[in-house]
Amino acid sequence: MKPEATPKMTVLSSPVGLKSIISSLVAFSIIVGFAAFLFYQGQEGQVLMAIEHGHQEMQVQVAAEHHEQLRVKEAKVQLTAEPPDVSKEECNWSTGQWVYDNVSRPLYSGLKCAFIFPELSCDKYGRKDAMYQHWRWKPHGCDLPRFNATRLLEKLRNKRLVFVGDSLNRNQWVSLVCMVEASIPDDRLKMRVFNGSLISFKAFEYNVTIDFYWSPLLVESNSDDPIIHRVEYRIIRADRIDKHANAWRDANIIIFNSYVWWRKHKPDMRMKVMYGSFEDGDARLEEVEMVDGFEIALRKLTEWLGENIDKNRTRIFFAGSSPTHNWASNWGGVDRNKCLNETEPVYKVGYKATGTD
Ligand SMILES: *[C@@H]1O[C@H](CO)[C@@H](O)[C@H](O)[C@H]1NC(C)=O
Ligand SMILES: *[C@@H]1O[C@H](CO)[C@@H](O)[C@H](O)[C@H]1NC(C)=O
Ligand SMILES: *[C@@H]1O[C@H](CO)[C@@H](O)[C@H](O)[C@H]1NC(C)=O
Ligand SMILES: *[C@@H]1O[C@H](CO)[C@@H](O)[C@H](O)[C@H]1NC(C)=O
Ligand SMILES: *[C@@H]1O[C@H](CO)[C@@H](O)[C@H](O)[C@H]1NC(C)=O
Ligand SMILES: *[C@@H]1O[C@H](CO)[C@@H](O)[C@H](O)[C@H]1NC(C)=O
Ligand SMILES: *[C@@H]1O[C@H](CO)[C@@H](O)[C@H](O)[C@H]1NC(C)=O
């Protein structure tokens, strides 16, 4: 089947209208070093951004976790904000290619970073080829500035940045923290704390906090345990998000992601949605299509953000679907091999598969 959806990132807006959050996104460039956020205007005033993931481990994880179909009815998510002014940005980061660059890459060493999870540390566990560490995203028409950890820390001074979502965002967190922590050689000046769904990195000299918070379905759900999360029979609570939101409501920058957990593992997979609560005696369960569950969660999230986030203080990003490459044919091979022995990126310019195959 031909891939249809386009990888994209969507700026959430809220019923209350977070216009200024959205416009301030344009000025936000510090994340460029680990992911290229791309702004472009979609149809009907929707604001869309695409994200290019620069790390293979993330892509492998996507492939391993999810290989069923989901069509996002993106049109169903109402976005009311006006698009950001991108006129100053001449170069479109969403069109480009991976270039081999063993001079300015890698940006961190998996052997040295104390914050990397074992399952992501390929070199530590014997992967022989190191080429995967040397890819750089090169937009047509410009070069992204090289990541500079000191500059990032200066920009984030006295601030808290939180990634919220599933393992894709957790990988982004790991990558960013590994890129940053190498610039702080003194172990006494940095710290990592695990506290349930929250993993926190602190750079004391700068009073910078970079966190990851696990909530793959955004709203409260039966998948909220960061370690033992149920994969099948998902249940979300349509009107409950506070437990999660309390963990990131004071952040200065929040990067949400959600997509892969709404995909179907089986053709008949559906999402259970709970309204009310057992404690209040008004619990009610409904079953909906997975993608409709996604819409319910996005509505609750945007409603919460609209009511609770001071848009002068907090910037919001949202990463939606991301490219997958589950099948050898993506590289020009034979499909039954999946991604066995594939160690290089898909070079096809404009490749956009999002797991619709
Ligand atoms: C950037 O490129 C993408 C993909 O080709 C396109 O959809 C988008 O409209 C472009 N954005 C701008 C601002 O030209
Ligand atoms: C970078 O790659 C080129 C081409 O493969 C090779 O000739 C060169 O020795 C490499 N440089 C380093 C520093 O690894
Ligand atoms: C990184 O940024 C800092 C602070 O802006 C600057 O002093 C330093 O020269 C930069 N490093 C590189 C390699 O560009
Ligand atoms: C340190 O950063 C936090 C945000 O993470 C902020 O609330 C606090 O005011 C900062 N402390 C100082 C002394 O600026
Ligand atoms: C862990 O998080 C809880 C809130 O979920 C908080 O009350 C507690 O103080 C945190 N513990 C540490 C050690 O940070
Ligand atoms: C946000 O900033 C604008 C411009 O500085 C100001 O007019 C507005 O009152 C601020 N809003 C809040 C909620 O602080
Ligand atoms: C994968 O690579 C290994 C080691 O190079 C090789 O023995 C094996 O035949 C390859 N498998 C395929 C399907 O190409």
pLDDT in tens, 82-121: 333 334 457 888 888 889 999 999 999 889 998 898 888 9
Q: How far is the CA of 90 from the centre of ligand 1 (A)?
A: 11
Mean pLDDT confidence for 332-345? 81
pLDDT of residue 355: 55
**Residue (of 153, 320, 163) closest to 254 by Cα position:** 163
Token pair 């409260």 in the structure block, residue? 220
Distances (CA, A) of 318 to 24, 105, 226, 301, 348: 14, 27, 20, 11, 26
Q: Is the pLDDT of residue 349 over 90?
A: no
Token pair 């797991």 in the structure block, residue? 355
Nearest Cα residue to atom 10 of ligand 7: 341
Query: Between β-strands 235-237 and 315-319, what pairing exists: parallel, antiparallel or unpaired?
Result: unpaired
Q: Is the pLDDT of residue 138 over 80?
A: yes
Instruction: Supply the DSSP string of 213-226, one letter for each residue.
Output: EE-TTSSSBTT--S
pLDDT tens-digit series, residues 174-206: 999 999 999 999 999 999 999 999 999 999 999
Nearest Cα residue to atom 11 of ligand 1: 40
Q: How far is the CA of 301 from the centre of ligand 6 (A)?
A: 22
Nearest Cα residue to atom 1 of ligand 7: 341
Nearest Cα residue to atom 8 of ligand 7: 341
Nearest Cα residue to atom 14 of ligand 6: 312
Q: What percent of the chain stands above pLDDT 90?
A: 49
Using the atom order of ligand 4, give the atom closest to the CA of residue 209: 5
Let me know the angle formed at the C-alpha of 153 by 47 and 307, rounded to the nearest 5 degrees. 40
* Residues paired with 192 in a beta bridge: 201
What value does the mean pLDDT of the chain take? 76
Return d(Cα 166, Cα 52) in angstroms, integer: 17
Return d(Cα 140, Cα 266) in angstroms, integer: 39
Q: How far is the CA of 102 from the centre of ligand 2 (A)?
A: 6
Q: How far is the CA of 247 from the centre of ligand 5 (A)?
A: 9
pLDDT of residue 181: 94
Query: Between β-strands 47-53 and 35-41, what pairing exists: parallel, antiparallel or unpaired?
Result: antiparallel
pLDDT of residue 28: 29
Indicate whether residue 104 lines ligand 3 (CB < 6 A). no
pLDDT tens-digit series, residues 206-243: 999 999 999 999 999 999 999 887 667 899 999 999 99
Single-letter amino acid, residue 197? S
Residues with Cβ within 6 A of ligand 1?
40, 86, 92, 94-95
Indicate whether residue 148 lines ligand 3 (CB < 6 A). yes
Return d(Cα 25, Cα 49) in angstroms, integer: 11
- 209, 202 in Cβ contact below 8 A? yes
Using the atom order of ligand 1, give the atom closest to the CA of residue 86: 13
Nearest Cα residue to atom 7 of ligand 1: 40
pLDDT tens-digit series, residues 266-300: 889 999 999 998 888 999 999 999 999 999 999 99
Return d(Cα 182, Cα 112) in angstroms, integer: 8
Distances (CA, A) of 221 to 55, 150, 189, 218, 277: 28, 38, 36, 8, 12
Q: Which of 129, 341, 344 to mutate to test the pocket of ligand 7 (most atoms within 8 A of CB)?
A: 341
Q: What percent of the chain stands above pLDDT 70?
A: 73
Residues with Cβ within 6 A of ligand 6?
310, 312
